[in-house]
Amino acid sequence: MKKHILITAAMSALLGGAAMIASAQTAPTTPAQTTAQIPAFTHPQSLQQDLARLDLALNNTGTLTGDFVQYNQNGSQASGTIALQRPGKIRFEYAPPANLLIVSDGSFITQQNTKLGTSDRIPLGATPLGAFLKTDMNLARDTKVLALQKFQDRTAVTIADKDGKQAGQMTLVFNEPNLALKEWVVVDEFGQTTRVVLSNLRYNEDLNPRLFIVRNSRVGSGGRRR
């Protein structure tokens, strides 16, 4: 389970609690701080229409590249680049000194320590990314929607595993009115919060297939690579 949490948080790989969009210099905002001040559903009468808008925005993003900054519960932070290609593929390449690479090839998510040459992998379907990276994402069908909060400049949707098999939750934050995904917050089963802010995004460009391949590692016992 700890492997799942680590890979999900780094995406955060992608997605949990209602957070406000902020710059890379801003301190982390926990879901509890935000949701305590406003209702979980600010516009319940238009919930289905609002979810459909978010579904359309996500499904119209065939590829995405850009930069990210990750804020951790302990106050530390890391940065790097992100590349996404539906269905099923994503890459988080961390800048030094992190020495971390996280890649989904469509079937498995591999986390590799690029300095030590060690890797761990888990099935994509065992993480929230499995639903998020589908070509026909449907939030109401594929997730348990815990909150949807609309503001003039942003919309935030908080989701959890529909079947309850995966602990924790994720909040996706979209800019308004173009619904560009700009941030997500993941809360794991222990209540630890990881926040990822995206920037310099480019959409629907051709990507090199090699971005989603992890090389130079062998699978050892227990799914661990060496």
What structural domains does the chain harbor? 2-201 (2.50.20.10)
pLDDT tens string, the chain, 226 residues long: the values are 444 444 444 433 333 222 222 222 223 343 434 445 789 999 999 999 999 999 999 999 999 999 999 999 889 999 999 999 999 999 999 999 888 999 999 999 999 988 888 888 888 887 777 878 888 999 999 999 999 999 999 999 999 888 877 778 889 999 999 999 999 998 888 888 999 999 999 999 999 999 999 775 544 333 444 4
Q: How far apart are CA 184 and CA 173, in angstroms?
A: 6
pLDDT on residue 216: 59
Q: How far apart are CA 24 and CA 44, in angstroms?
A: 31
pLDDT on residue 63: 95
Q: How far apart are CA 172 and CA 159, in angstroms?
A: 8
Q: In what order do the strands lie in the sheet with 63-71?
A: 143-150, 154-161, 169-175, 181-187, 193-203, 63-71, 77-85, 89-94, 100-105, 108-113, 118-123, 224-225
pTM: 0.78
